[in-house]
Amino acid sequence: MKLHLKVWRQSGPQDKGRFELHTIDGVSSDMSFLEMLDVLNDRLLAQGKSPIAFDHDCREGICGSCSMMINGRAHGPTRGTTCQTYMRNFHDGQTVVIEPWRARAFPVMCDLVVDRSAFDRIQQAGGYVSVNTGGAQDGNCLPVPKDDAERAMDAAQCIGCGACVAACKNASAMLFVAAKVSHLGLLPQGQPERAGRVLAMVAKMDEEGFGNCTNQYECEAVCPKSIPADFIARMNRDHLGSSLIPSE
């Protein structure tokens, strides 16, 4: 298969950036999208040119680092991560446009690599349970209703990839924050710090420059872990309730 790639190149955060055109042939339909980029980079290196920078780690759909827009869609044509997107979803002769995430809170560092540390700072604001629990308890010591356990597990699947932000016209991080707030807030261990957690994480999200949710559902449509948008409504209720608790 032969593809025409239009790839975003940007040497650093201050560079204006531009699209660069590459034609690549011999692409197997069994390659992942990242493997196709590996082949392109090998060829660029052989020609003495600089390879295209892109983030990746696990290549198994679990680390969330392989962020890029492919033909205007976060992670490409399938609802999965880029590393789990295969070239069989493209056709011979197709033009493929590859860009980094576009969001003020995710500045472009180089080519397709963006700085997603804003997500880390939101997590650091409250996405943890700080009590010292000593040794790990037996899982059955603390009964958790099955529905709550399953819902918490759904939320805990978020891999922090940022596709929800990239797909949203407001660059809203509410699906990510709602997932992180909910996976602890639904469990008994998360209750003592529940109010402070949601207030701190939402405040940090706003401070980092993410936009607000206007119910576009683009986040849900591209989330590789199928986190449902109703977690955002749950977070909003949690936030309102927590903001009404008088401070001591």
Q: Using CB under 6 A, list all residues that contact ligand FES.
A: 56-59, 61-66, 81-83
How many angstroms separate the CA atoms of 219 and 79, rounded? 11
Instruction: Give 232: exposed, middle or buried? Use CB within 10 Å, 0-12, 13-18, 19+.
Output: buried
The residue (of 34 and 122) whose beta carbon lies closer to ligand FES is: 34
The residue (of 5 and 70) whose beta carbon lies closer to ligand SF4 is: 70
110 pairs with which residues across the strands? Answer: 113
Instruction: Give 92: exposed, middle or buried? Use CB within 10 Å, 0-12, 13-18, 19+.
Output: exposed
Where do the H-state alpha helices sit in the chain?
A: 33-46, 117-126, 146-156, 163-167, 174-185, 194-207, 218-222, 230-243
Give the one entry of ligand FES, ligand SF4, none that residue 175 binds, where binding means its C-beta sits below a cut-off of 5 to 8 angstroms depending on kind: ligand SF4
The residue (of 68 and 195) whose beta carbon lies closer to ligand FES is: 68
How many angstroms separate the CA atoms of 50 and 15, rounded? 16
Q: How far is CA 63 from CA 77, 134, 160, 212, 224, in A?
A: 19, 28, 8, 25, 11
The residue (of 92 and 150) whose beta carbon lies closer to ligand SF4 is: 150
Give the one entry of ligand FES, ligand SF4, none that residue 163 binds, where binding means its C-beta sits below a cut-off of 5 to 8 angstroms depending on kind: ligand SF4
Nearest distance in Å: CB 189, ligand FES:
27
List contacts with ligand SF4 (CB under 6 A): 64, 158-164, 175-176, 179, 223-225, 227
Give the one entry of ligand FES, ligand SF4, none that residue 211 binds, where binding means its C-beta sits below a cut-off of 5 to 8 angstroms depending on kind: none
Half-sphere exposure of 30 (CA within 13 A, CB side): 0
Give the one entry of ligand SF4, ligand FES, none that residue 59 binds, where binding means its C-beta sits below a cut-off of 5 to 8 angstroms depending on kind: ligand FES
* Nearest in space to 9 (alpha carbons), one of 26, 21, 1: 21
Nearest distance in Å: CB 92, ligand FES:
25
Cα angle 244-247-248, degrees, rounded to a multiple of 5:
150
The residue (of 3 and 197) whose beta carbon lies closer to ligand SF4 is: 197
The residue (of 25 and 60) whose beta carbon lies closer to ligand FES is: 60
Give the one entry of ligand FES, ligand SF4, none that residue 223 binds, where binding means its C-beta sits below a cut-off of 5 to 8 angstroms depending on kind: ligand SF4
Give the one entry of ligand SF4, ligand FES, none that residue 54 binds, where binding means its C-beta sits below a cut-off of 5 to 8 angstroms depending on kind: none
